[in-house]
Amino acid sequence: EEMYNNESAGPAFEEFLQLLGERVRLKGFEKYRAQLDTKTDSTGTHSLYTTYKEYEIMFHVSTMLPYTPNNKQQLLRKRHIGNDIVTIVFQEPGAESFSPKNIRSHFQHVFVIVRVHNPCTDNVCYSVAVTRSRDVPSFGPPIPKGITFPKSNVFRDFLLAKVINAENAAHKSEKFRAMATRTRQEYLKDLAEKNVTNTPIDPSGKFPFISLASKKKEKSKPHPGVELHSSGAVVWILHAKDYSRGLDIECLLGISNEFVVVIEQDTKSVVFNCSCRDVIGWTSTDTSVKIFYERGECVSVETFKNSEDIKEIVKRLELVTKGCESVEMTLRRNGLGQLGFHVNYEGIVADVEPYGYAWQAGLRQGSRLVEICTVAVATLSHEQMIDLLRTSVTVKVVIIPPHEDCTPRRSFSEIHRMPVMEYKMNDGGVPHEFKFPFRNNNKWQRNANKGQASHIQQMPSQMQSPITTRVASGKGEGKMPPPDRAANIPRSISSDGRPLESRRYDSNLGVFFC
């Protein structure tokens, strides 16, 4: 985080950048841009560009990417640098030794560490070291032991050749080779499906023994889809994403009436399981499905042989869970820079400004945010979630739509393990969460369920909190919590009972207006 939070480059770093390439203006830049914005300056105004032996190279320089104050993670910078395969780490004299364990990334496979000696003098020189992932083969040019390179075009050419060879070597690693194989398979499959003809050849021709009109064998299925209604488990052979190791593992996905289970085929071990009642939604494509459960955590599986498997999995989830398909939307800001909705600490939309941009995009009260700018909400604290919504230039979210009665989708484990927001009926008879109105400064009021007011002690208005525990669910599935837990949750306590920081003690705890 400290490396990503450098606001400006020092003289030694500027000297190194001048040697490495040319500082270019991004707006209107027409050459290779490396995913940087060349129209609206959303990724900074300048960057570093150079060429080497017919290669075009655009660097993602941390100090040239947008800096967001009060954002320790600097997600706008991580979004570019964290997705690069090769990273150059520049160190000034006296800097601590670099360890690749300090940076978590699924894509950064090679780190080239450049340390400067005697910067900004006539005797300036550089030493180079390289660290790489285990499955990345070695690459040249070799670094002589104990050598330092003087500032010159020879050192520049050496370093550029090293980073280009590093990226080419990384593509030969097991992870990238598997990805390239899958891509080629998809291209070949698409080519075969769209360009094969069933037109028979005239047998009276020159080669009557050649026939391209062979009939395809159709899979015989008794009553298609009947197995999806089975009470037992339906199993598919798929590949699951192992984000900890950055690998795809061949596995079996089983979905019964009660559980979702993923079993690794090689070791026969269960690598994931959850109750069907904990599934809140999913995102599906033609070849993959991402299943969201509990607080928005997810497990991702994909297939490369039969896209019908994904359709069957989605149909099965619709039958045995209460989740639904997620929706991806891009949100715009109004003239005040606001997105026009409230979101609480669970990532649930508590209120949407009527007819605002968020409303027009389809966001509704009770929707649950599971991803913000490709970052999983389950991995963010409330402050990080708010910070990401505030600072992101383009806000892309993935939401789980609410139930038909506008209540948010929650997992069974979540309802019975943690306090949740209480609901009341509005004028139209639709239940919704307590909200802080847009047009006045009235504080939220607590509304106890009928027949249960005797279990809840009245508190002074200055001590009431908008976060309350659900005493009983609408269908009678929930159990009444102990009176001392349901009676009052002071504003200084979070959902899991931990004291909060003093700066968060306000009447809008748990809800943020974007």
301, 160: one domain = no
- Is 277 within 8 Å of 296 (Cβ atoms)? no
The pLDDT, as a whole number, for residue 3 is 67
The residue among 365, 397, 414 that closes a domain is 414
Domain count, the chain: 3
Q: Identify the DSSP state of 450.
A: T
Partners of 288 in the β-ladder: 302
The alpha carbon dihedral of 322, 323, 324, 330 has a sign of positive
Residue 168: CB atoms within 10 Å: 13
The pLDDT, as a whole number, for residue 216 is 55
| Domain of residue 239, CATH code | 2.30.29.30
332, 309: one domain = no
Domain assignment of residue 87, yes or no = yes
Please state, in angstroms and rounded to a whole number, the distance separating the CA atoms of residues 278 and 113. 45
Query: Where in the sequence is the domain holding 340, given as residue range(s)?
Result: 327-414
| Domain of residue 362, CATH code | 2.30.42.10
133, 69: one domain = yes
333, 293: one domain = no
**SS3 label, residue 159:** helix
Q: What is the pLDDT of residues 322-370, one digit of tens each?
A: 999 999 999 988 888 888 888 888 899 988 999 888 899 999 999 999 9
- Is 133 within 8 Å of 110 (Cβ atoms)? yes
Q: Which residues of 197-225 are buried (b: 16+ CB within 10 A; e: fewer)?
A: eeeeeeeeeeeeeeeeeeeeeeeeeeeee
Domain assignment of residue 460, yes or no = no
- Is 235 within 8 Å of 252 (Cβ atoms)? yes
158, 277: one domain = no
73, 156: one domain = yes
237, 291: one domain = yes
The pLDDT, as a whole number, for residue 150 is 92
The pLDDT, as a whole number, for residue 422 is 45
Domain assignment of residue 78, yes or no = yes
Domain assignment of residue 473, yes or no = no
Please state, in angstroms and rounded to a whole number, the distance separating the CA atoms of residues 301 and 77. 28
- Is 495 within 8 Å of 509 (Cβ atoms)? no
Domain assignment of residue 459, yes or no = no
Q: Identify the DSSP state of 493.
A: B
Closest CA to 370 of 415, 423, 323, 338: 323
Domain assignment of residue 131, yes or no = yes
263, 320: one domain = yes
The residue among 325, 355, 385 that closes a domain is 325
149, 286: one domain = no
The pLDDT, as a whole number, for residue 158 is 92
The pLDDT, as a whole number, for residue 329 is 92
312, 384: one domain = no
The pLDDT, as a whole number, for residue 132 is 87
Domain assignment of residue 181, yes or no = no
314, 335: one domain = no
319, 297: one domain = yes
Q: What is the 3-state secondary structure (H, E, C) of 289-349?
A: EEEEECCCEEEEEECCCCCHHHHHHHHHHHHHCCCEECEEEEECCCCCCCCCEEEECCCEE
**SS3 label, residue 455:** helix
Domain assignment of residue 369, yes or no = yes
> In which residue ranges of the chain is pLDDT below 50?
209, 420-425, 428-513
**SS3 label, residue 171:** coil
The residue among 295, 325, 355 that closes a domain is 325
Would you call 129 exposed, middle or buried from its count of C-beta atoms within 10 A (0-12, 13-18, 19+)?
Answer: middle
Instruction: Tell me which residue has tokens 């690598």.
Output: 271
